């Protein structure tokens, strides 16, 4: 339970950091050029949902990932050699 609570707290902090960095969502305007991420995070079985969706979107924005595809450890471990 503590791990999940830590995850939720961390995710909330990431969202507020993005809002602080990018500005208030209440005064919305398109201030980007359309480049960047391809869209919602997706994996082998389709789009992520719930808290995973928010967590991966935060990572995409924070680190500037241009691709919205994600792997899980089991998918990656078969390709590490």
| Percent of the chain surpassing pLDDT 70 | 73
Give the chain as a DSSP string.
-HHHHHHHHHHHHHHHHHHHHH--STT----S-S-S--SS-EETTEE--HHHHHHHHHHHHHHT-S--B---HHHHHTT--
Q: Can you tell me the mean pLDDT for 35-54?
A: 74
- Indicate the range of 3-7, 28-32, 62-66 predicted with least confidence: 28-32
Q: In this model, does residue 22 exceed pLDDT 80?
A: no
Q: What is the mean pLDDT of the chain?
A: 77
Residue 36 is predicted with a pLDDT of 55
């Amino acid at each position: 339970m503590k791990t999940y609570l830590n995850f939720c707290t961390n995710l909330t902090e990431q969202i507020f950091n993005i809002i602080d960095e990018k500005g208030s969502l209440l005064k919305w305007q398109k201030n980007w050029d359309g480049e960047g991420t391809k869209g919602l995070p997706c994996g082998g079985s389709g789009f992520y949902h719930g808290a995973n969706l928010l967590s991966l979107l935060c990572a995409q924005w924070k680190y500037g990932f241009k691709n919205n595809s994600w792997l899980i450890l089991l998918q990656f471990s078969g390709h590490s050699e």
